[in-house]
Homo-oligomer: A and B are copies of this chain.
């Protein structure tokens, strides 16, 4: 094992900052120089055929990934699954429902299970997939509690399978550039981070507003992007958090489901982050104020159209980076890691870090005081 590979693995075993550096080094979403079996594409099974799977993930797997393909479908709706199977040329034998899902262990077409279910089902299907001998890509938030995260990590470890969390912005060039500008202090040290993510939620009957399925409100679903951004711009782990939850529509937002959450993070290097999460209004900006200027992505988390810019001594300029399909890049990167037996840069441990901080955010809001992490 060469020095650079040893350093790489050492970095991966460290904190988020080091793990985050990896995609920058390896080239986000790019195919590996060499794979174990040249030309092999990993088979992905999608669990949960909702709008994210339908509008983003399945099309990406069908048309835009280089190292993986859509090979299986898991759904509680047989008609829907058959319809998708036709559209995406998935053999009928690779369709599962939630009852017979565990039989996926006997299906060699499936290498990776991508869990795209409501939050409270992430742990169960991640663990069942691992026990079926599959690698798992699990949508964010990883779970609804730190305890579940621990169980998921343990299950994948016991099965000798990789677990990655669907942090698509780790594979988005403008967001990567934000982390690089901060890490390399291109405009000096970052002092204040502002990260905001939100949208105005519609249908009150949707699972996102049902505590039993969502495990929380805007924070777990969308505010997690602001938390992620603050962490990868700061390049280190926060030492304390302070937060408040606000509810203006108590009919739509039942106990345990937040509408808006404002939270602050203190980082050991001195940077502070002011973050906003909301289901009441659109929020879509990650911004960093440094000693010699600022840089931002705005919009920051759209599936397409993300735009980065900076302003330093030479005045403002756009990042001018190419657009990528976040989901294709994310799935190719994970496939690359599996094919080449390298650890993913967005492991369960990364998901667990967010989960722990989000639990502290809710605790801080409840107590009205700062929580040390």
Residues of A within 8 A of B (CB): 189-192, 194, 196, 198, 200, 242, 244, 246, 248, 260, 262, 264, 266, 270, 272, 274-276, 278, 280-283, 289-294, 368-370
Contact = CB atoms under 8 A, between A and B. Distances in A.
Within the oligomer, what is the number of copies of this chain? 2
Contact of A244 (B189, B242, B293): B242
Contacts of A189: 248
A171 to B, nearest CB: 27
Contact of A370 (B192, B198, B275, B368): B368
Contact of A191 (B275, B280, B293): B280
The 6 closest A-B pairs by CB, nearest first: A281-B289, A248-B270, A191-B280, A368-B370, A369-B369, A191-B281
A368 B276 CA distance: 19
B262 A200 contact: no
A290 B260 CA distance: 12
Name the residue among A264, A278, A290, A291 with the largest chain B CB count within 10 angstroms: A264
Contacts of A368: 242, 369-370
A8 to B, nearest CB: 31
B194 A196 contact: yes
A246 B262 contact: no
Contacts of A200: 291-292
Contacts of A282: 289, 293-294
B278 A248 contact: no
Q: Could you tell me the dominant secondary structure of chain A's interface residues? A: strand
Contacts of A248: 189, 191, 270
Nearest to A259: B191
Given A274-B274, A291-B200, A191 B242 contact: no
Name the residue among A191, A278, A294, A369 with the largest chain B CB count within 10 angstroms: A191
Contacts of A294: 281-282
Contact of A281 (B192, B242, B274): B192
B246 A260 contact: no
A266 B247 CA distance: 11
Contacts of A276: 192, 194, 274
A282 B261 CA distance: 25
B260 A192 contact: yes
A243 to B, nearest CB: 9
B244 A192 contact: no
Given A276-B192, A283-B192, A198 B289 contact: yes
Contacts of A196: 192, 194, 274
Nearest to A270: B248
A267 to B, nearest CB: 9
Contacts of A192: 196, 198, 260, 262, 276, 278, 280-281, 283
A363 B346 CA distance: 39
Nearest to A273: B262
Given A191-B278, A200-B291, A281-B291, A244 B266 contact: yes
A200 B262 CA distance: 25
Given A191-B248, A192-B196, 10 more contacts: A192-B283, A200-B292, A242-B244, A244-B272, A278-B289, A280-B291, A282-B289, A282-B293, A368-B370, A369-B369
A283 B276 CA distance: 17
Contacts of A244: 242, 264, 266, 272, 370
